[in-house]
Amino acid sequence: MADTERLPAWCPGEGWYSITTTASLVGKKWHPVIIHRLLNEGPLGFNALQEEVDGISSKVLSESLDDLEDKRIVSRTIVSEKPVRVEYALTDLGQSLESVVVSMAEWGEQHLDPVEEEAASIV
36-65: pLDDT as tens digits: 999 999 999 999 999 999 899 999 999 999
Please tell me the distance from the alpha carbon of residue 61 to that of residue 71, in angstroms, as a whole number: 15
Question: What is the pLDDT, as a whole number, of residue 3?
Answer: 43
Question: What is the pLDDT, as a whole number, of residue 115?
Answer: 72
Q: Is the peptide bond before 32 cis (omega within 30 degrees of 0)?
A: no
Domain 11-97 has CATH 1.10.10.10: yes
The structure's pTM equals 0.80
Question: What is the pLDDT, as a whole number, of residue 51?
Answer: 96
Q: Where are the domains of the chain?
A: 11-97
pLDDT > 70: percent of the chain: 80
For the beta sheet containing 44-45, the strands, ordered from the edge strand earlier in sequence to the opposite edge, are 44-45, 85-90, 74-80
CB 73, CB 58: distance < 8 Å? no
Q: What is the mean pLDDT of each run of 10 residues along the chain (123 residues)?
A: 58 69 83 96 96 94 95 93 92 94 90 70 47
